[in-house]
Amino acid sequence: MTIKSCPVQPQAWSKQQLRKLFLDCDGDGDGLLTKEEIKKAFRNLGAVIPGYRAWEGLKRADANKDGCVSHDELDALIDYADKLQYTSVTNY
């Protein structure tokens, strides 16, 4: 009997998937992502140093400098995460 293995392919997160991930990390549902919530999202993406990624993402996305990322600023955070090319493993 021969056992066939399924190839495992890493697949980049789409911007739509990244948006959902970040919005799901808005723990209190206030529509603002704090540094801790962003850190949680980067941890879920598999970042080696999620605290640094959260700091860098907040720095790039927080246009009004209030310390949070609002829905209006979310696209900049998603663009930053997208450029880092995180992948998830999908079985085909």
Residues 43-81: tens digit of each pLDDT: 999 999 999 999 999 999 999 999 999 999 999 999 999
DSSP 19-55: HHHHHHT-TT-SSEE-HHHHHHHHHHHT-SSHHHHHH
CATH 1.10.238.10 is held by the domain 13-86 = yes
- Could you tell me which residues come within 8 angstroms of residue 21 by beta carbon, excluding any fewer than 6 positions away? 13, 41, 44, 45
For 9-43, write each residue's pLDDT tens digit: 678 999 999 999 999 999 999 999 999 999 999 99
pTM: 0.85
76: alpha, beta or left, given left = phi > 0 and alpha = psi -120 to 50? alpha
Domain boundaries, the chain: 13-86
